[in-house]
Chain A
Amino acid sequence: MPLWFARGLRRGVVTTRYPARPDGSAASLPTPPAFRPRKLTRELVDRMIAVCPGPALRRRDDMLIFDAGACTACGRCAQAAPLAVRPSGEFELATTTRSALVKTIPILGDMR
């Protein structure tokens, strides 16, 4: 405490902004999935949609529509398709536009 007080007096600033420094605990947070388009097939995507507990995943032809706002980061899609899905590591997702959270991901695995 005296150390912080002395540091504050010296710098003239007693508080920090956000983010003050990278937070060590951030790496262990559950985060929404990131997809690998070349590993995605329609059949695999349909299986992921079936295990998704919410409306976060949808498919429109060769496009996977991912609503990060509806995602609870439960990890079931990553469990169903470990090669095509991994955690994105993104958790600071606040937005002023709801539609900005809805992402379209191409399904490229069927093309070969």
Chain B
Amino acid sequence: MSPGLDAARPDAGAAGQDEAEAARQLRDKIAAQFGRSLHIRTLDTGSCAVCEQEIRLLSAPHYDLHRLGFFLTPAPRHADLLLVTGPMVRAFEVAARKAYEAMPGPKVVVATGACALGGVYQPDPFVHGQVGAVLPVDVWIPGCPPSPLALLHGLSVAVGRLAEKTPGLTFVADGDGGGA
């Protein structure tokens, strides 16, 4: 288990302790089961297709995600991980739920790109604005689009091979003090 996934959740209060512990145990289980091979189903919920472009590049020789034991599969029945892009258009809600329910457990949902994280569209009659409104998201990968490197890092975080860096970042420029 990577140290990053064990890091205390900053948003979890005393009441959330049991839940955080349960989440940690589930992640341990997922890391044990998906440690060597993981099948990914991509799901476009209304993205502009640039995230798909970057996902497609993962199979290219330069990034070569197959070397890490990750495989893209066309069927949710064969998938361990749902890589969701787009702002979750309301017309796609039923299909998204069906794809999620068709996957065998344990399963991981990864929200990919700024749209999926709620950074581009606000909720309105046409879009939910973020994937989390419909599916239980386990890992968030920011970026517009997330580069293939960011996606590889995100997938590695999802299976517990790499530690996440985000909790340690401040987005304060070096040499300016100020703290954060």
Establish whether residues A34 and B173, one from each chain, have CB atoms under 8 Å apart when the complex forms.
yes
Establish whether residues B171 and A68, one from each chain, have CB atoms under 8 Å apart when the complex forms.
yes
A67 and B119 contact, Cβ closer than 8 Å, known pairs A93-B165, A97-B11, A99-B10: yes
Return the CB mask of B131-143 against A: 1 if under 8 Å, else 0: 0100001111111
Establish whether residues A33 and B171, one from each chain, have CB atoms under 8 Å apart when the complex forms.
yes
Interface of A is mostly: loop
Q: How large is the interface on A (under 10, 10 to 19, 20 to 34, 35 or more residues)?
A: 35 or more
Q: How far is the CA of A73 from the CA of B171 in the complex (A)?
A: 13
Cβ contact of A94, chosen from B118, B154, B177, B180, cutoff 8 A? B154
Establish whether residues B171 and A66, one from each chain, have CB atoms under 8 Å apart when the complex forms.
yes
Contacts of B118 in A (CB 8 A): 55, 69-70
Return the CB mask of A89-102 against B: 1 if under 8 Å, else 0: 01111111111110
**Interface of A with B (CB < 8 Å)?**
15-19, 23, 25-26, 29, 32-39, 54-56, 66-74, 85-86, 88, 90-101, 103-106, 108
The 8 closest A-B pairs by CB, nearest first: A70-B119, A37-B178, A94-B154, A72-B144, A15-B67, A69-B117, A92-B153, A36-B176
